[in-house]
C-alpha cells in the first residue's frame, strides 16, 4: 500500500458552499422517466441526497447511451470501481483531498476524524446510507474475529491500537486515535480503497449475530461455502465487485452474475452527484464490459469494438490502432505514464552465488553495466524517440526532480564501462572476447523477467549487443510471474528486468517507499525487504552502508517536522540512489495509447494514465463522460487538458 | 461378455486413483500456491494486498495443512460428487465449468463432424484412385492443413473475417448476444463465428483421418474377397460400400475413446488465440494461477471421460466387428 501524507496540516475538508446542490433545478434522468411515472422509482429529487455533490464537467452532457469496453477477466470488474472513483474522500489531480461521499470531514490534530454524511444519501437499492452502516462495519465486521481473523486493517491501527469509534448522530461518525494517523484518509481515497462502511440492511442477513440460524444454514448450503463467515466475506466485495445484489454507492452498479463473458453495469439511480444543469450523474446509462483474452484486446479495439480503452493496450500497438482510426470512428490519444522508468534492470544484491553477489554489490560494476547501455538506440528503435532516456528516478514533473538523478551514469560510454570493468579486475577474456570471473566462469548475465510482454525481450536484445562490446554476455530468460518472483525471493536470480518505480510524480509529502528497502517485492534487494516485512523472521538484515543510510533517512522522513525537511530527506535518498545505480533505468514516460470513440465526450486530450495517483480514468471523472445521442451527428470535440 | 465388462469397470477404479494422485502432484509441483500467485499479481499492479483476505483464503483452502491432507480433502469431495471451490473465480467449480461446457461441446462436435465429412470422401477417393492426380492433390491439401500452425491460421482467418465480413474479432458470437437467452439471431451469430475455429481445428485433424482411411481401405481392396466379389459381377460401388469400407471404419470407432474427452476440452491453443469462451483457456488460466480445485477437478473429469470413452469404444468395436475378441486381451 502506498501512502500519502498531504494533510497533517488540514483541519477541515469541506466542499465550497458553491459546490452544494442548492438552487439547481433537478431534471429527471430520461432512462428512469417510465419507472418514475409507473411509480416503481421515486422522482430524482427524492433519490438524491438533500445536499448533492455538484460536479462541473468541461462540457455539459446529455444523459443516456451505453459504453463498451474490453476486459480480460471477470476479476476486471473491479476496474469499474476504480474508474468510477467514488470514495468517502477523493484526491484531486493536484493531490488535494476533497470530500465526495462524505459531505465534509473534520480532522483535529491529525488524530480525530469526524465524518459528516449527506442527509438523505441512499444505497443503490434506495435504502438510506447512515452512520449505522459505519457502525455495522466497525463493530460487527472488522471487530468480529470470525470475519476479520487478523483484526482491523493496518491503516486503522496506530502503534497497534484501534481507534475509538462513536456514532454522534445518524449522519455523523467519529474515529479517534491517541496519536495522529496520517494513513487513514489516503487509504480511504485510494484507487483500491479501505471500506469502513457496509450495507447493513443487506449484509446482516449473512451475519450470525443478526440472522436466524436455520435460514443462515440454508444460505450457507445454497452458496456451497463452509460457514457463515465465508459467505459474508464472499458476498461483501465492494472493490472486487462480483455480487450484483450488493448495494453500492458507485456511479454504475453491476447487473450480471458471474461467471459470464459480458458484464453489464447500469447507472445507480441514487448516485449523489449532479451537474450544473440539474442532471443526475453519471451521464452514461450503461457500461458493457466484454471479456476477451488480453492478447486479442488490441485487435478488437482496432476493429472498433471498444468506446474507451487503455487497459491491455501497449505503446507498440499505437501504429496499428492509429492506422484503423479512419474507418472505425475513434481517435487514439497518447497519455503520459508515471512510472520512474518504463523498464529497468535490477541487479540482485541478495543473489545466492557469492561471486555474483560480490559483483552486483560493487558500485563500479553496476555503473559499468549502466554505461554500456545505449538508451538512445532503445528509445529510437522501440519507442519512436518519444520516451525520456535515463535512470529509474522521479520524473521531470515532480517537484523533487533534478536532471542529475536521471543522467547519472546514463550516457552511452562503452570505453569508460570497459575501464571500470578492468578496474574491478575482470581483465581475463575467453576466446570470444567475453570476460572471465575470477573463478574462471565467463561473465554471463541471465536477465530474468515475468515473460508478460515481448517489449522486455526486444529491449534486452538491444542491450545484449552493446554489452557484448564491453565483454559481457547477456541471456534473456522470460519466465512466468509467479515463478520469477519465487526465484528472485530465494536469491536464484542474478538480474531482473521489470517496470521502474511505480510513481515518478512524487512530492515530498509522499513516503519514499520505492527508493529504500521496504518489501520483498523490490527485486534489487528482496531479502532485505523480506527481513523488514517479516520483522526479522526471515530474509537478511541490510549490510551495505549506503543502504543502511537510506533506511535511516526513511525513518527520519516519518518523524520530519515539516515539508522542507521532508523534501531535504527525499533529495538525499534520491541522490544516494542515483550515485549507487541500484537499478539501471532505461527509458521513462513512454506514452500510453488511449482509444476514445469519436462519440465520447469529456475525455481529456492529455492526461496521465496511472494507478496511484490517478485511479486511471478516475481522476478525470468518468461519470461526466457522455455519448453523442443516437441519431445526432455532432462529433465530440477534443478538449484541452482537463 | 458380462464377466469382461465387470472386470473392465473394476479396473477403472485403481486407474482413476493413480490418475488423481498424478494430477495432484503435478499441479502442486511448481513453487508457491494459488495465494502466492494471487499476491504476486496484486503486487505487479501495485494493488493493496489485503492480509485479512489472504489469511481467510488460506484457511478456506487448507493451504497451511500438509499436502496429503489437501489431497484427501480434494479426493473425498470428488467421491461425493463435489468438484470443490475455484479460488480463481470464487465460485463452485461445477458452476464455472458448467457455464462453458455447452459452447465447448458445440465447437468440438462441429469440428468432429467437419473432419469426418471432409476426410471420409477424400479418404475413399484417394484409396480407390491411388496415385492419381486427385489422390496427390487432396493428400497435399490435407498435409498442408496438418503442417500449418493452428494459431497462425487462426490469426489470418480472424483478420479476414473482420476486414471482409465484419465479424467481431474472437469469441463465438457478437458481444450483444453474450448474456441473452438462445434465439434465432443468437444462433445465426454463433454460426457466423463458428466456422473459423471449426476450420482451424478441423484442418489439422483431416490429414490424419484421410491417411488412415486410405491405408485401411487399400489393404482391404487387395484382399481376395473383394476380388471375388468384383469377379462375380458386383458393381464396383456396391462392392466397395458393402465390404471393404465397413472394415476400414474401425479406426473411426476406435477414436471415440479419445474423442469423448476432446469434446469437452476443446483445442486450448486455438481457443486462446481466438478468445473462445470454452474450457481450454479456462484450464490454462487455472493451471497458471495454481487453482488446484478448478484445474484438478476438471482434469479428473477429463480422465474419467477418457477411461469411459476407451471402454465404450472397445464395446462398440466388438459389436461392429465380431472378429475382435475381448477376453483374450484381459486374461493375457
pLDDT, one tens digit per residue, over A47-75 is 999 989 999 999 999 999 999 999 988 88
Instruction: Tell me whether residues A521 and B91 touch, CB distance under 8 A.
Output: no
pLDDT of residue A587: 94
Three-state secondary structure along chain B?
CHHHHHHHHHHHHHHHHHHHHHHHHHHHCCCCCHHHHHHHHHHHCCCCCCHHHHHHHHHHCCCCCCHHHHHHHHHHHHHCCCCCEECCCCEEHHHHHHHHHHHHHHHHHHHHHHHHHHHHHHHHHHHHCCCCHHHHHHHHHHHHHHHCCHHHHHHHHHHHHHHHHCCCCCCCCCHHHCCCCCCHHHHHHHHHHHHHHHHHHHHHHHHHHHHHHHHHHHHHHCCHHHHHHHHCCCCHHHHHHHCHHHHCCHHHHHCHHHHHHHHHHCCHHHHHHHCCCCHHHHHHHHHHCCCHHHHHHHHHHHHHHHHHHHHHHHHHHHHHCCCCCCHHHHHC
Counting residues of chain A whose pLDDT is more than 70, the rounded percentage is 95
Average pLDDT of span A128-144: 94
CB contact under 8 A, A290 and B175: yes
pLDDT category at A19 given cuts 50, 70, 90 is very low
Residues of chain A above pLDDT 90, percent: 67
State the smallest CA–CA distance between residue B86 and chain A in angstroms.
11
Q: Are B40 and A489 in contact (CB under 8 A)?
A: no
Residue A128 main-chain phi, psi, to 5 deg: -60, 145
Q: When comparing pLDDT for A392 and B180, which is higher?
A: A392
Residue A69 CA: distances (Å) to CA of A108, A186, A637: 43, 29, 21
Q: How far is B300 from chain A (nearest CA, A)?
A: 20
| Cβ-defined contact of A293 to B272 (cutoff 8 Å) | yes
- Name chain A contacts of B50, Cβ cutoff 8 Å: 153
H/E segment holding residue A418: helix A414-424
**Structure confidence at residue A570 (pLDDT):** 94
- pLDDT the model gives residue B326: 57
pLDDT bracket for residue A2 (50, 70, 90): very low
pLDDT score recorded for residue A441: 93
* pLDDT greater at residue A630 or residue B22: B22
Higher pLDDT, A19 or B58: B58
Residue A3 has pLDDT above 50, yes or no: no
Residue A97 has pLDDT above 70, yes or no: yes
Q: What residues of chain A lie within 8 A of the CB of B273, using their CB?
A: 293, 295-296
Closest-CA residue of A relative to B276 is A292
Residue in A with minimal Cα distance to B171: A292
| A502/A463: higher pLDDT | A463
Mutate to test the interface with A, among B29, B36, B38, B48 (most CBs of A within 10 A): B48
Residue closest to B295 by CA, chosen among B81, B65, B99, B93:
B93
Distance between terminal CA atoms of chain B?
Answer: 16
Cross-chain residue pair A296–B169, CB shorter than 8 Å: yes
Q: What is the pLDDT of residue A271?
A: 96
Q: What is the pLDDT of residue A375?
A: 96
The answer to whether residue A190 scores a pLDDT higher than 80 is yes
Which pLDDT band, with edges at 50, 70 and 90, does A637 fall under?
very low
- How far apart (Å, rounded) are the C-alpha atoms in residues B262 and B302? 8
- Judged by CB atoms closer than 8 Å, whether chains meet at A260 and B178 is answered as yes
Select the residue of A234, A290, A482 nearest B37 (Cβ to Cβ): A482
Quick one: pLDDT at residue B325? 64
Q: Say what the pLDDT of residue A21 is.
A: 46
For the cut 70, the answer to whether the pLDDT of residue A5 exceeds it is no
Mean pLDDT (chain B) is 83
Query: Cβ–Cβ of A260/B168 closer than 8 Å?
Result: no
Q: Nearest residue of A to residue B98 by CA position?
A: A259
With vertex at residue A594, the alpha carbon angle to CA A589 and CA A596, rounded to the nearest 5 degrees, is 155
Pick the residue with more confidence: A344 or B248? A344
State the average pLDDT over residues B124-147. 88
Average of per-residue pLDDT across A594-604: 95
Q: What is the mean pLDDT of residues A102-120?
A: 93
Which residue of chain B is at minimal alpha-carbon distance from A148? B52
Closest by Cα among A245, A186, A160, A574 to A408? A574
Nearest to B178 among A1, A225, A290 (CB): A290
C-alpha cell at position B87: 479460488
CB contact under 8 A, A150 and B52: yes
Does position A7 have pLDDT exceeding 80, yes or no?
no
pLDDT at A6: 44
Most confident segment among A304-308, B53-57, B146-150: A304-308
Choose among A527, A507, A494, A505: nearest CA to A611.
A505
Instruction: Name the nearest CA neighbour of B278 among B173, B160, B151.
Output: B173
Q: In the structure, what pLDDT confidence band is assigned to residue A632 with cuts at 50, 70 and 90?
A: low
Mapped onto helix, strand or coil, the DSSP state of residue A470 is: coil
Q: Which chain B positions have a beta carbon within 8 Å of A502's beta carbon? A: 46
The whole-number average pLDDT for the span A212-226 is 89
Question: Structure pTM?
Answer: 0.85
Look at residue B327 in the predicted model and tell me its pLDDT: 56
Mean pLDDT value across residues B16-23: 94
Pairwise CB contact (< 8 Å): A300 & B91: no
Distances (CA, A) of A33 to A41, A44, A255: 9, 10, 20
Q: Is the pLDDT of residue A639 over 80?
A: no
C-beta of residue A410 within 8 angstroms of C-beta of residue A510: no
The pLDDT assigned to A411 comes to 94
Residue A598 has pLDDT above 80, yes or no: yes
Q: Provide CB contacts within 8 A for A119, sequence distance 6+.
A: A49, A50, A51, A171
pLDDT over 70 at B332, yes or no: no
pLDDT at B89: 84
Interchain proximity A300–B43, CB inside 8 Å: no
- Which whole number is the average pLDDT over A25-46? 92
Element (H, E) at A105: strand A102-108
Neighbours of A539 (CB within 10 A): 21
* Residue B331 confidence (pLDDT): 44
Q: What is the pLDDT of residue A224?
A: 82
Which among B60, B92, B170 has the least Cβ separation from residue A300? B170
**Residue B27, pLDDT score:** 87
- B283 chain-A contacts, CB cut-off 8 A: none
Q: Which of B31, B55, B275 sits opposite A150 (nearest CB)?
A: B55
Examine the pLDDT at A293 and tell me if it is beyond 70.
Answer: yes
Q: Report the C-alpha gap between B102 and A368 in whole angstroms.
A: 59
The arithmetic mean of pLDDT across residues B12-38, rounded, is 88
pLDDT band (50, 70, 90) for residue B266: low
CA atoms within 13 A on the CB side of A392: 26
Residues comprising chain A, all counted: 642
**Closest in A1, A224, A300 to B169, CB measured:** A300
Average pLDDT over residues B72-81: 89
Chain B residues in contact with A260 by the CB 8 A cut-off are: 99, 178-179
Determine the pLDDT at residue A454.
85
Q: How many CB atoms sit inside 10 A of residue A261's CB? A: 23
pLDDT band at A581 (very low <50, low <70, confident <90, very high): very high
User: Which residues of A fall within a CB distance of 8 Å from B84?
Assistant: none
pLDDT above 80 for A380: yes
Task: Determine, for residues A256 and B43 on separate chains, whether the beta-carbon distance falls below 8 Å.
Answer: no
Q: Kindly compute the dihedral angle of the four CA atoms of residues A411, A578, A614, A102, in this order, to the nearest 10 degrees.
A: -170
What is the average pLDDT across A256-274? 92
Closest CA to B246 of B322, B315, B138: B322
Give the three cell numbers for residue A174. 467519529
Average pLDDT of the residues of chain A? 89
- Determine the residue of chain A that is closest to B30 in CA distance: A483
What pLDDT score does B16 carry? 92
Q: How many CA atoms lie within 13 A of A607 on its CB side?
A: 27
pLDDT per residue over A488-539, tens digit each? Answer: 998 999 999 999 998 888 888 788 889 999 888 899 999 999 998 888 888 8
Amino acid at each position: 500500500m502506498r501512502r500519502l501524507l498531504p494533510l497533517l496540516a488540514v483541519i477541515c475538508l469541506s466542499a465550497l458552499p458553491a459546490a452544494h446542490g442548492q438552487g439547481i433545478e433537478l431534471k429527471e434522468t430520461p432512462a428512469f422517466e417510465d419507472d418514475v411515472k409507473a411509480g416503481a422509482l421515486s422522482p430524482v429529487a427524492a433519490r438524491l441526497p438533500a445536499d448533492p455533490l455538484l460536479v462541473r464537467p468541461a462540457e455539459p452532457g446529455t444523459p443516456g447511451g451505453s459504453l463498451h469496453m474490453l476486459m480480460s477477466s471477470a476479476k476486471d470488474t473491479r476496474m469499474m470501481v476504480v474508474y468510477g472513483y467514488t470514495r468517502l474522500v477523493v484526491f484531486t489531480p493536484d493531490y488535494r483531498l476533497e470530500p465526495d461521499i462524505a459531505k465534509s470531514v473534520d480532522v483535529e490534530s491529525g488524530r480525530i476524524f469526524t465524518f459528516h454524511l449527506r442527509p438523505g444519501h441512499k444505497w443503490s437499492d434506495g435504502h438510506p446510507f447512515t452512520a449505522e452502516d459505519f457502525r455495522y462495519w466497525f463493530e460487527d465486521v472488522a471487530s468480529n474475529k470470525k470475519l476479520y481473523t487478523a483484526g482491523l486493517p493496518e491503516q486503522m491501527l496506530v502503534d497497534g491500537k484501534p481507534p475509538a469509534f462513536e456514532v454522534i448522530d445518524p449522519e455523523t461518525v467519529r474515529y479517534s486515535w491517541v496519536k495522529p494517523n496520517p494513513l487513514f484518509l489516503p487509504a480511504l481515497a485510494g484507487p483500491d480503497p479501505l471500506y469502513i462502511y457496509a450495507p447493513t440492511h443487506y449484509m446482516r442477513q449473512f451475519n450470525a449475530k443478526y440472522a436466524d440460524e436455520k435460514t443462515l444454514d440454508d444460505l450457507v448450503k445454497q452458496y456451497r461455502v463452509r460457514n457463515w463467515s465465508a459467505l459474508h466475506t464472499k458476498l461483501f466485495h465492494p472493490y472486487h465487485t462480483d455480487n450484483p445484489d450488493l448495494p453500492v454507492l458507485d456511479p454504475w452498479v453491476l447487473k450480471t452474475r458471474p461467471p459470464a463473458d459480458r458484464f453489464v453495469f447500469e447507472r445507480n439511480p441514487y448516485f449523489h452527484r449532479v451537474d450544473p444543469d440539474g442532471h443526475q450523474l453519471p451521464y452514461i446509462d450503461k457500461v458493457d464490459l466484454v471479456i476477451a483474452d488480453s492478447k486479442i484486446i488490441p485487435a478488437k479495439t482496432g476493429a472498433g469494438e471498444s468506446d474507451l480503452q487503455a487497459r491491455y493496450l501497449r505503446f507498440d500497438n499505437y501504429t496499428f490502432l492509429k492506422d484503423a482510426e479512419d474507418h472505425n470512428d475513434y481517435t487514439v490519444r497518447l497519455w503520459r505514464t508515471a512510472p520512474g522508468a518504463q523498464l529497468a534492470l535490477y541487479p540482485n544484491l541478495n543473489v545466492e552465488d557469492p561471486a555474483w553477489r560480490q559483483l552486483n554489490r560493487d558500485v563500479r560494476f553496476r555503473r559499468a553495466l549502466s554505461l554500456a547501455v545505449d538508451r538512445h538506440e532503445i528509445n529510437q528503435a522501440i519507442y519512436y524517440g518519444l520516451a525520456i532516456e535515463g535512470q529509474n528516478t522521479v520524473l521531470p514533473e515532480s517537484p523533487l526532480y533534478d536532471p542529475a538523478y536521471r543522467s547519472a551514469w546514463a550516457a552511452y560510454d562503452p570505453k569508460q564501462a570497459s575501464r571500470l570493468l578492468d578496474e574491478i579486475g575482470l581483465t581475463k577474456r575467453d576466446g570470444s572476447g567475453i570476460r572471465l570471473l575470477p573463478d574462471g566462469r565467463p561473465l554471463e548475465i541471465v536477465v530474468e523477467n515475468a515473460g508478460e510482454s515481448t517489449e522486455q525481450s526486444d529491449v534486452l536484445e538491444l542491450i545484449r549487443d552493446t554489452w557484448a562490446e564491453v565483454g559481457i554476455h547477456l541471456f534473456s530468460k522470460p519466465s512466468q510471474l509467479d515463478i520469477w518472483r519465487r526465484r528472485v525471493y530465494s536469491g536464484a536470480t542474478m538480474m531482473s528486468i521489470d517496470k521502474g518505480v511505480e510513481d515518478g510524480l512524487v512530492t515530498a509529502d509522499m513516503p519514499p517507499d520505492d527508493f529504500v528497502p521496504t518489501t520483498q517485492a523490490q527485486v534489487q534487494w528482496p531479502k532485505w525487504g523480506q527481513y523488514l516485512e517479516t520483522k526479522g523472521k526471515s530474509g537478511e538484515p541490510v549490510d551495505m552502508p549506503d543502504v543502511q543510510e537510506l533506511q535511516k533517512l526513511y525513518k527520519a522522513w516519518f518523524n520530519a517536522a515539516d515539508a522542507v525537511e521532508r523534501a531535504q530527506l527525499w533529495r538525499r535518498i534520491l541522490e544516494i540512489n542515483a550515485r549507487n545505480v541500484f537499478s539501471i533505468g532505461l527509458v521513462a514516460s513512454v506514452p500510453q495509447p488511449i482509444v476514445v470513440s469519436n462519440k465520447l465526450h469529456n475525455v481529456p486530450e492529455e492526461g496521465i494514465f496511472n494507478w496511484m495517483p490517478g485511479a486511471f480514468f478516475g481522476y478525470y471523472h468518468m461519470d461526466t463522460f457522455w455519448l453523442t445521442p443516437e441519431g445526432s451527428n455532432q462529433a465530440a470535440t477534443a478538449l484541452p487538458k482537463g | 461378455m458380462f464377466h469382461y465388462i465387470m472386470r473392465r469397470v473394476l479396473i477403472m477404479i485403481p486407474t482413476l486413483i493413480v490418475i488423481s494422485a498424478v494430477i495432484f502432484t503435478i499441479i502442486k509441483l511448481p513453487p508457491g500456491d494459488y495465494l502466492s500467485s494471487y499476491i504476486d499479481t496484486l503486487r505487479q499492479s501495485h494493488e493493496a494486498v489485503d492480509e485479512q483476505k489472504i489469511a481467510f483464503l488460506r484457511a478456506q483452502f487448507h493451504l497451511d495443512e500438509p499436502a496429503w491432507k489437501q489431497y484427501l480433502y480434494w479426493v473425498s469431495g470428488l467421491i461425493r460428487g463435489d468438484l470443490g471451490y475455484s479460488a480463481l473465480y470464487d465460485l463452485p467449480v461445477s458452476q464455472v465449468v458448467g457455464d462453458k461446457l455447452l459452447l465447448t461441446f458445440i465447437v468440438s462436435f462441429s469440428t468432429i463432424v467437419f473432419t469426418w465429412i471432409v476426410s471420409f470422401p477424400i479418404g475413399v477417393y484417394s484409396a480407390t484412385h491411388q496415385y492419381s492426380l486427385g489422390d496427390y492433390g487432396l493428400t497435399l491439401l490435407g498435409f498442408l492443413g496438418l503442417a500449418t500452425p493452428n494459431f497462425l491460421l487462426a490469426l489470418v482467418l480472424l483478420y479476414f473475417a473482420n476486414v471482409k465480413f465484419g465479424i467481431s474479432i474472437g469469441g463465438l458470437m457478437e458481444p450483444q448476444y453474450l448474456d441473452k437467452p438462445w434465439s434465432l439471431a443468437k444462433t445465426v451469430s454463433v454460426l457466423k463465428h463458428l466456422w473459423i475455429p471449426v476450420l482451424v481445428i478441423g484442418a489439422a485433424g483431416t490429414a490424419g483421418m484421410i491417411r488412415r482411411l486410405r491405408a485401411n481401405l487399400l489393404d482391404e481392396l487387395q484382399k481376395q474377397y473383394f476380388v471375388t466379389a468384383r469377379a462375380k459381377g458386383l458393381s464396383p460401388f456396391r462392392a466397395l460400400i458393402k465390404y471393404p469400407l465397413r472394415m476400414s471404419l474401425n479406426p473411426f470407432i476406435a477414436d471415440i475413446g479419445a474423442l469423448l474427452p476432446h469434446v469437452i476440452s476443446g483445442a486450448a491453443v486455438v481457443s486462446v488465440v481466438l478468445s473462445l469462451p470454452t474450457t481450454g483457456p479456462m484450464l490454462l488460466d487455472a493451471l497458471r494461477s495454481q487453482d488446484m480445485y478448478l484445474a484438478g477437478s476438471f482434469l479428473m473429469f477429463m480422465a474419467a471421460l477418457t477411461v469411459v470413452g476407451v471402454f465404450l469404444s472397445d464395446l462398440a468395436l466388438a459389436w461392429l466387428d465380431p472378429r475382435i475378441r475381448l477376453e483374450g486381451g484381459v486374461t493375457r
